C-alpha cells in the first residue's frame, strides 16, 4: 500500500513547526541565591552572570535559542531555597539550576537536584560534603572547596614556626568543614603542631571580644580564621584594639576578597596569609578582557562574586554546547571532564567528584593608602590542591558516579 503524500507532508510540517517553536523557546536557567542576606557578594555575583548572559545572547544564544535566567532570592534560608527550586522546575520549566552561597543552602539545593534529576551547578557553596559525602550525579561545584583552599593555606602555614594553633570559625557546615580540612592537612605536613583552642560563634552573631579572649587563653602561636562578612569586620576591629593583630600571626580563608577588604578599609590587618582576589594586579589576557567588559557595563571594578557569577554561566554554556542539548542526562555526561574558560584561566570539572579545578589567589594582606590589598600573591591552580582519587572514593557515594 502506497503512503499518502499528504500525510507525509503533514508529518514533515509538524516536525518543522516543533523545531521552530523550540528555537523560539529560550533556554532557562534557574538561579537561586542569598541576594538579600549577603548583598556584598551576591550583587556582584548577579552582575557577573548578567554580563555572561548578555554576551552569549549577543552572539546568537545557544543551540539557536536565547538564554534566560529566572532568579530567586533564598534570603540565606535552606527552606526558601528548596521552595524556589521546586517552583522554578515545576512552573518555570528551567533546564538547569545554578547558584547557592551558604553551604547549608547549597546542600539543600543539591539534595533536591538529585531527587528531581536536574543539573545543579553550585557556584559558591564551599562545603566538601556537596561533592563528597552528600554528592550526587546531578550536582557540580565551581569554586575551590574548603579542602582545596585549606590546602592552599596549609602550604604557607607549614612554613611558619608556629606549633600551637587556635581556630575560629562560624558554627555551621562551611566553618566546620574548613577547620577539619585545615587540621588534617597541616598535621600531615607538620606532625609537630597541636591545636590548643577553638571558637565556634554562630554565623552573623560573633561576640568578637569573648571569642578572642577565649582563644588567647590557650596561648596560640597562630590562629586559623574562617569568619567572613560582618563577623570578620568585628573580629579585626576587636583584635586591632587589643593589639592582638598583627602580633599573633593569622591564616585566614577568603579574607583577601575585595568584598571584605572594602569593608575593612584602613583596619585591614597587615601580614595575614589569605586566599583572595587581587583584581587590580592581574595582567592575564582572560582577566583583562573580563575586567574591562565588566567595568564598561557596571561602572565598577569586579569582585570575587563577579568572577564566580560569570564563570558559572560560562560553565553551563560550555556544557550545553558540548551536549548539543538541554537534556539533563546528556548534560551530566558533558559536564564530567568539561573544559571551560574563566577570568582566572582555563578550568575543568573532574569526573570523579564533579569538582571544578578553578583556583584562588594566595598572598598576604597589606595596606595601600587607606585600603586593604593583597601582596606577595600567587595563583594557586585548583588542580594542584585536590585530593587523590582514593581519598574521594572513600567519601563519595558510589551511586553518585553512575
DSSP assigned state of 130: G
Sequence-ordered strand ranges (E) for 47-133? 67-73, 96-99, 120-122
**pLDDT confidence of 18, banded at 50, 70, 90?**
very low
Report whether pLDDT(127) > 90.
yes
Residue linked to cell 546531578: 138
Q: Where are the domains of the chain?
A: 10-145+283-359, 147-281+360-385
Q: 164: closest CA among 228, 231, 217? A: 217
Q: Which residue has the higher pLDDT, 1 or 351?
A: 351
pLDDT number for residue 401: 73
* Residue 355 DSSP symbol: B
Q: Give residue 14's pLDDT.
A: 47
Closest-CA residue to 47 (of 75, 80, 29, 69):
69
Q: Rounded to the nearest 10 degrees, what angle do helices 285-298 and 39-58 cross at?
A: 100
Q: What mean pLDDT value characterizes the chain?
A: 94
Name the grid cell of 191: 606532625
Q: What is the pLDDT of residue 274?
A: 98
Confidence of residue 402 (pLDDT cuts 50, 70, 90): confident
Q: What is the pLDDT of residue 42?
A: 96
Q: What is the pLDDT of residue 23?
A: 59
SS3 8: helix
Taking phi over 0 as left and psi of -120 to 50 as alpha, with beta for the rest, 315 belongs to: alpha
Nine cell digits for residue 94? 528551567
Tell me which of 53-67, 128-142, 354-368, 388-402 is least confident: 388-402
Mean pLDDT for the stretch of residues 161-184? 96
**Percent of the chain at pLDDT exceeding 90:** 92
Cα distance between residue 300 and residue 293, in whole Å: 10
pLDDT tens-place string over residues 186-212 = 999 999 999 999 999 999 999 999 999
pLDDT number for residue 7: 61
Q: Per residue in 12-47, is it b (16+ CB within 10 Å) or e — as a string?
A: eeeeeeeeeeeeeeebbbbbbbbbebbebbbbbbbb
What mean pLDDT is predicted for residues 5-33?
Answer: 67
pTM for the whole structure: 0.92
Q: For residue range 80-102, list pLDDT tens digits in order.
A: 999 999 999 999 999 999 999 99
In this predicted structure, what is the pLDDT of residue 105?
A: 96
- Rounded to whole angstroms, the Cα distance separating 120 from 292 reads 29
Whether pLDDT at 13 is above 80: no
Q: Model confidence over 205-256: pLDDT tens digits?
A: 999 999 999 999 999 999 999 999 999 999 999 999 999 999 999 999 999 9
Residue 15 reports pLDDT greater than 50: no
10-145+283-359 and 147-281+360-385: same fold? yes
Task: Report whether pLDDT(389) > 80.
Answer: yes
Strands 360-368 and 250-256: unpaired
**Superfamily classification of domain 147-281+360-385:** Response regulator (3.40.50.2300)
Q: 10-145+283-359: which CATH architecture?
A: 3-Layer(aba) Sandwich (3.40)
Residue 125 pLDDT > 60: yes
Mean pLDDT of 33-49: 96
Question: For the residues 54-70, what does the mean pLDDT come to?
Answer: 98
**Mean pLDDT confidence for 306-313:** 98
Are the beta carbons of 274 and 255 closer than 8 angstroms? yes
The grid coordinates listed for 384 are 594542584
Instruction: Name residue 197's beta-bridge partners.
Output: 166
Say whether pLDDT at 11 is over 60. no
Q: What percent of the chain has pLDDT over 70?
A: 94
Give the model confidence (pLDDT) of 246-298 as tens digits. Answer: 999 999 999 999 999 999 999 999 999 999 999 999 999 999 999 999 999 99
Indicate left, alpha or beta for 204 from its phi (over 0: left) and psi (-120 to 50: alpha).
left
Bridge pairing between strands 222-225 and 96-99:
unpaired
Q: How far apart are the C-alpha atoms of 83 and 106, rounded to whole Å?
A: 13
Between CA 257 and CA 233 the distance in angstroms is 13
Q: Work out the angle at residue 229's Cα, subtended by the Cα atoms of residues 228 and 233, and round it to the nearest 5 degrees.
A: 90
Region 146-173: mean pLDDT is 97
Amino acid at each position: 500500500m502506497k503512503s499518502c503524500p499528504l500525510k507525509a507532508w503533514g508529518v514533515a510540517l509538524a516536525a518543522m513547526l516543533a523545531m521552530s517553536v523550540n528555537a523560539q523557546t529560550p533556554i532557562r536557567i534557574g538561579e537561586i541565591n542569598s541576594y538579600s542576606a549577603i548583598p556584598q557578594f551576591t550583587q556582584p555575583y548577579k552582575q557577573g552572570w548578567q554580563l555572561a548572559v548578555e554576551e552569549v545572547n549577543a552572539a546568537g544564544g545557544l543551540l539557536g535559542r536565547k538564554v534566560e535566567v529566572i532568579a530567586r532570592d533564598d534570603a540565606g534560608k535552606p527552606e526558601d531555597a528548596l521552595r524556589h527550586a521546586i517552583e522554578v522546575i515545576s512552573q518555570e520549566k528551567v533546564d538547569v539550576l545554578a547558584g547557592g552561597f551558604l553551604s547549608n543552602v547549597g546542600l539543600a539545593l543539591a539534595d533536591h537536584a538529585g531527587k528531581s534529576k536536574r543539573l545543579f551547578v553550585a557556584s559558591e557553596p564551599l562545603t566538601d560534603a556537596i561533592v563528597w559525602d552528600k554528592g550526587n550525579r546531578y550536582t557540580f561545584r565551581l569554586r575551590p572547596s574548603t579542602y582545596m583552599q585549606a590546602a592552599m593555606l596549609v602550604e604557607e602555614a607549614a612554613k611558619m614556626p608556629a606549633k600551637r594553633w587556635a581556630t575560629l570559625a562560624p558554627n555551621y557546615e562551611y566553618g566546620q568543614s574548613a577547620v577539619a580540612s585545615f587540621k588534617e592537612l597541616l598535621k600531615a605536613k607538620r606532625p609537630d603542631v597541636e591545636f590548643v583552642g577553638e571558637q565556634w560563634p554562630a554565623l552573623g552573631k560573633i561576640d568578637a571580644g569573648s571569642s578572642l579572649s577565649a582563644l588567647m587563653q590557650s596561648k596560640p602561636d597562630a590562629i586559623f580564621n574562617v569568619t567572613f562578612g560582618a563577623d570578620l569586620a568585628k573580629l579585626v576591629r576587636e583584635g586591632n584594639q587589643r593589639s592582638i593583630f598583627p602580633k599573633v600571626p593569622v591564616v585566614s580563608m577568603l579574607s583577601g576578597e575585595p568584598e571584605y577588604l572594602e569593608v575593612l578599609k584602613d583596619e585591614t590587618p597587615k601580614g595575614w596569609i589569605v586566599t583572595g582576589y587581587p583584581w587590580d594586579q592581574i595582567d592575564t589576557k582572560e582577566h583583562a578582557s573580563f575586567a574591562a567588559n565588566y567595568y564598561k557595563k557596571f561602572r565598577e571594578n569586579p569582585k570575587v562574586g563577579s568572577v564566580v557569577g560569570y564563570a558559572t554561566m560560562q560553565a553551563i554554556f560550555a556544557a550545553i554546547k558540548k551536549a548539543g542539548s538541554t537534556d539533563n542526562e546528556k548534560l551530566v555526561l558533558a559536564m564530567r571532564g568539561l573544559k571551560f574558560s574563566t577570568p582566572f584561566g582555563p578550568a575543568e570539572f573532574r569526573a570523579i567528584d564533579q569538582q571544578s579545578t578553578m583556583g584562588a589567589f594566595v598572598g598576604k594582606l597589606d595596606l595601600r593608602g587607606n585600603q586593604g590589598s593583597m601582596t606577595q600573591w600567587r595563583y594557586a591552580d585548583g588542580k594542584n590542591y585536590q585530593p587523590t582519587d582514593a581519598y574521594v572514593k572513600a567519601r563519595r557515594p558510589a551511586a553518585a558516579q553512575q
